[in-house]
Structure 1
């Protein structure tokens, strides 16, 4: 493994380091992301680097007891292991994440040839309302902050300008939505948010891929 790394060019070493840091930070890599300038999905540099050196990355993470997997159908490379800790997200971000997973699954069941899904902020808030998990519609500032956070972790990609956020704002939901949720039933998890005595300010979101097809 060390010999393989030493034979790489300096540029390749830097690319490999970047991939390792990204996987540790967010546990997955997307094959394609939406490029607003091009107006379409574009292949990512990190994913190409990982597939090029896939066996090296598998051996590297194996030393730490972490498994690296590739889901070609979804276009996601991800890592799994007991050593990986889930992130803590604000309550609204957690609710949106669970709702986005429901919307993603529902749209994928309608026979989509794409691995990503497009929805709207209005649809997300509407679905949250169905489960009575929001006392009232969040403020524009809170929604904008939440969307920006989920964008940061590459869960979604807003297709419209965040400064003009409204119910019609379109959101691309990436297939990595599968990698950031507990394996429990999503509807049951949402139901717990409607019980105010059980709601905290934060909820842990733990990486898992129990719902993902191999």
Structure 2
């Protein structure tokens, strides 16, 4: 590994360092993200870096007992390991994640082929209300903060300006939601995730939402 990294340029080594840090923070990288300015999907530099140096990075993470995997179909590179602890999410972001996963699965089940999955803020809040995981519609400030956080973790991409947030505000749901929530019992989990339970608790970003159902 040392020989490999020494043969790279300073710019390549810096790109690898940034990609590794991002993987440790959120455990996955998305190949393409939607650019609202061009209205097209653009390749991300971190994914391209990992793809270029994939074998080196697999060996690098293996030293720490972590596996680096690539899902070519969904365009995701991610790490897995018992020692990984994702960052914490506030309650509303956790609720939105559960709803986004439900919407994603519903739309994918109806799609004839892989397609862009889009949900509106109104649809998300309506479903959250139907499952009684929120007592009232969150304030615009809370919603903007939550959506911005999920955008940071490459789970959603707003198609409309967040400063003008309303029930018609659209957002793409990225397939990374499948990494955060891998269980098959989202509806049951939502029904058990009442407003009174776990109030104020936070949830880790990767795969630990399933623990709430235990």
Task: Name the TM-score, length of structure 1 as normaliser.
Answer: 0.92
- What is the CA–CA distance in structure 1 between the aligned matches of 2:69 and 2:207, rounded to whole Å? 12
Give the RMSD, CA atoms, in angstroms: 1.7
Per the alignment, residue 158 of structure 1 pairs with 158
- What is the CA–CA distance in structure 2 between the aligned matches of 1:112 and 1:152, rounded to whole Å? 29
Per the alignment, residue 199 of structure 1 pairs with 198
- What is the CA–CA distance in structure 1 between the aligned matches of 2:145 and 2:11, rounded to whole Å? 35
- What is the CA–CA distance in structure 2 between the aligned matches of 1:67 and 1:207, rounded to whole Å? 15
State which drifts further: 85-94 or 49-58. Answer: 85-94
Per the alignment, residue 212 of structure 1 pairs with none
Q: CA deviation at 1:184?
A: 6.2
Q: CA deviation at 1:206?
A: 5.0
SS at match of 2:110: coil
Instruction: Trace 1:1-214 onto structure 2 (pairs within 5 A).
Output: 1-111=1-111, 113-114=113-114, 116-181=116-181, 183=183, 185-194=185-194, 196=196, 198-205=197-204, 207-208=206-207
Q: Where does the alignment leave 5 or more consecutive residues of structure 1 unmatched?
A: 210-214
SS at match of 1:109: helix
CA-to-partner distance for each residue in 1:136-193, whole Å, 9 max, x for gaps?
1111111111111111111111111111000000001111111222636212221122
CA-to-partner distance for each residue in 1:52-86, whole Å, 9 max, x for gaps?
10000100000000010000111100000011113
Q: CA deviation at 1:111?
A: 2.1
Q: Where does the alignment leave 5 or more consecutive residues of structure 2 unmatched?
A: 209-214
- What is the CA–CA distance in structure 2 between the aligned matches of 1:46 and 1:64, rounded to whole Å? 21
Per the alignment, residue 212 of structure 2 pairs with none
Q: How many residues are aligned here?
A: 208
Q: CA deviation at 1:87?
A: 2.4
Over 3 Å counting, the alpha-carbon distance change for 1:180 and 1:115 in structure 2 is farther
Over 3 Å counting, the alpha-carbon distance change for 1:72 and 1:43 in structure 2 is same
- What is the CA–CA distance in structure 1 between the aligned matches of 2:131 and 2:76, rounded to whole Å? 30
- What is the CA–CA distance in structure 2 between the aligned matches of 1:191 and 1:9, rounded to whole Å? 53
- What is the CA–CA distance in structure 1 between the aligned matches of 2:207 and 2:65, rounded to whole Å? 15
State which drifts further: 125-134 or 105-114. Answer: 105-114
CA-to-partner distance for each residue in 1:71-117, whole Å, 9 max, x for gaps?
01111000000111132211111000110000011111112533641
1:121 and 1:167 in contact (8 A); partners too: yes
